[in-house]
Amino acid sequence: MNTVRRNPPKPAPTLVEGTLKLRPRAKEENAPEERAERAAPRPAPRRERDAGSPAAPRGRGGAGSDARAGTDEGGRSGGRPGAKSDAKSDARPGARSNTRPGGRTDARSGGRTDARPGPKGGPRPDARPGPRPERPAGAKPDAKPGERTRGADHDAAPRPPRTETGPSAAAARPQEGVRLSKVMAERGICSRREADEYIERGWVFVDGRRVSELGVRIDPAARIDLSPEASRTQRERVTILLHKPVGYVSGQPEPGYEPAVSLIGPGNQFDRDSAQRFHPSHLKNLAPAGRLDIDSTGLLVLTQDGRVARQLIGEESEIDKEYLVRVEGALAENGLELLRHGLWLDDRPLRPAQVEWINDDQLRFVLREGRKRQIRRMCELVGLQVVGLKRVRIGRVRLADLPIGEWRFLREDERFG
């Protein structure tokens, strides 16, 4: 038989904090403390407190830290009657203290202080108690007492100039003399490219001493001799005279046109009975020494010898060239004088030229320079149009009776200058 108790026993009151069951005596005990805290003046903010009292220690575990901790933590714990208390050290007498060695106090003990220990374990004084002393000019920052520093007077002392030695210093100094290859080319011994080749092979002697290193500089007045091997190589290099027809380009081939060098072969050698026979080695490094337009005909020089090329087309060349020019149109009033001297091409004045009439429609030109399509452009400036152009002489070498499209070797007794 089940029986129900009409008056069940009441549960015993709990002493655990943080539950919904509150002790009425806690409110009565805390009421005087709350009224005292509300009536007390609230401390000033930290910035104002620091500005007003610069001598106060900056350590977090000092008096200012205790006041702040009591205000913040106590205000939250005792501001509302019956609220949960965050300060466990005030809840029960004899509670464990959470103060750490060196002045650091945990937030659970009523306020967190992070004051670091000073020289002997106490709070560290403020790092900026007043204006920072000025450091002497030139002094080393954070110099320790007794440490040697470099002053401004020491830095201002003049330093002796540095003297560089070694291979790098020798390379930086300007070298005396002129490059050997340049001197050889200026004297007409060979071209600069040929000079480098001879030097590498050890075929060049300067004042009786063999030179086999490129880039050597010498006295411009030094004596230069070639070995027999170099002299023999020069004699083997050929120079060819070609009567170029219209339609062949003198230099690099163009689309639809053949280069003039393609005419050099055994089939059209003019002097095959009196000179050496053609050999394919004669085409090696064979290049034109001067240009002749695709629409022009006449004497064209092709050579393997750098001395000949420099003599004909070098910047300092004084070899003249003669042309027969057939023209159409009406010559300007002073056109003949302008053709002789006074015209400009490519923003540069032309050298003086010899120009004269041969017959009613043909002019004779003698020039000492060779710009691109020079004669045709000169005639256009004075009202004439070129319909035919033939080169008949280069220096002292004439085209003579060389048939068109054929070639011959330059003879040993022939010289351009």
- Residue 259 covered by a domain: yes
Structure tokens that stand for 146 in this block: 């007794």
Indicate the residue among 211, 236, 261 that finishes a domain: 236
- Residue 173 covered by a domain: no
- Residue 44 covered by a domain: no
**Are 309 and 255 within one domain?**
yes
Mean pLDDT in order along the chain per 10 residues (417 residues):
60 56 53 56 53 46 42 43 43 47 46 48 51 54 51 52 48 70 90 91 95 93 94 91 95 82 94 92 92 94 92 87 96 94 94 95 94 94 96 96 96 91
Q: Please provide the DSSP assignment of 134-193 as one string.
A: PPPTTPPTTPPTT-----HHHHHSPPPPP---SHHHHHHSPPPSEEHHHHHHHTTSS-HH
User: 300: domain CATH number?
Assistant: 3.30.70.580
C-alpha to C-alpha distance for 393 and 367, rounded to whole angstroms: 11
pLDDT of 102 reads 46
**Are 250 and 370 within one domain?**
no
**Are 371 and 231 within one domain?**
no
Residue 59: closest CA among 14, 108, 112: 112
**Are 411 and 307 within one domain?**
yes
- Residue 52 covered by a domain: no
Residue 300: which residues within 8 A CB-CB, separation 6 or more? 241, 242, 243, 244, 250, 260, 288, 290, 292, 391
pLDDT of 167 reads 45
User: 378: domain CATH number?
Assistant: 3.30.70.1560
The range of the structural domain enclosing residue 193 comes to 178-236
Q: Which residues pair with 113 in a beta bridge?
A: 105
Q: pLDDT, tens digit, for every residue of 241-298?
A: 999 999 999 987 777 889 999 999 999 999 999 999 999 999 998 999 988 999 999 9
Task: Please answer whether residues 98 and 109 qualify as being in contact, where contact means their C-beta atoms are separated by less than 8 angstroms.
Answer: yes
Q: pLDDT, tens digit, for every residue of 230-242?
A: 999 888 899 999 9
Report CA 275 to chain centroid distance, whole Å.
57
**Are 364 and 411 within one domain?**
no
User: 220: domain CATH number?
Assistant: 3.10.290.10
**Are 345 and 197 within one domain?**
no
pLDDT of 256 reads 80
- Residue 381 covered by a domain: yes
pLDDT of 317 reads 87
- Residue 105 covered by a domain: no
What amino acid positions are annotated as catalytic residues?
293
**Are 276 and 412 within one domain?**
yes
**Are 220 and 250 within one domain?**
no
Structure tokens that stand for 194 in this block: 């040929």
**Are 277 and 412 within one domain?**
yes
**Are 243 and 387 within one domain?**
no
- Residue 32 covered by a domain: no
Domain count, the chain: 3
Task: Please answer whether residues 393 and 322 qualify as being in contact, where contact means their C-beta atoms are separated by less than 8 angstroms.
Answer: yes
**Are 359 and 343 within one domain?**
yes
pLDDT of 367 reads 95
Other residues' Cβ atoms within 10 Å of the Cβ of residue 196: 18
**Are 220 and 327 within one domain?**
no
Residue 305: closest CA among 290, 289, 321: 289
Angle, helices 306-313/192-200, rounded to nearest 10 degrees: 160
Q: pLDDT, tens digit, for every residue of 114-126?
A: 445 444 444 554 5
C-alpha to C-alpha distance for 62 and 362, rounded to whole angstroms: 117
- Residue 308 covered by a domain: yes
pLDDT of 51 reads 46
pLDDT of 381 reads 96
Indicate the residue among 236, 259, 283 that finishes a domain: 236
Q: Write out 252-279 in H/E/C secondary structure.
A: CCCCCCEEHHHHCCHHHECCCCCCCCCC
